[in-house]
Amino acid sequence: MVTIVFLGKLADLAGAPSLQLAAPLGWAGLKAALPSALAEAVDDPRNRVALNGALLADKAGLQAGAGDEIALLPPVSGG
């Protein structure tokens, strides 16, 4: 399984801070597995994605395997 971690308002939309999806998982597969409203929010180009704690330069190139953790990171709040 792959763990998906939702940060900020994405956690509200997801209704939970994290969930598990079957491995392997790419960017398109991840979005397809989420409810449409959440998938749309996740697709915001301002969001960053981290795989096992490392930021991805290119989300579309995401490739997660069993035991991996994907974090979906919306823009950080200001002061």
Partner 1 sequence: MRDIRLLHQMFIPGTLIGPFTQANPGLGGVCTFVGEVRYDQGVEALELTHYEPLTLPGMHALADRAFGRFDLMGLLMVHRVGVLRPGEPIVCVSAAALHRRDAIDAVDFCMDHLKSAAWFWKREKRGGQWHWIEPRDQDHADLSRWHEPI
Summarize as ranges the residues that interact with partner 1 (CB under 8 A): 5, 7-9, 11-12, 50, 52-53, 55, 69, 71, 73-79
67: nearest Cα among 51, 56, 79, 55: 51
Q: How near is the Cβ of 73 to partner 1 at its closest, in Å?
A: 7
Quick one: 28 or 65, whose CB is closer to partner 1?
65
Q: How are beta strands 63-64 and 54-55 bridged, if at all?
A: unpaired
Quick one: 45 or 79, whose CB is closer to partner 1?
79
Q: How near is the Cβ of 53 to partner 1 at its closest, in Å?
A: 3
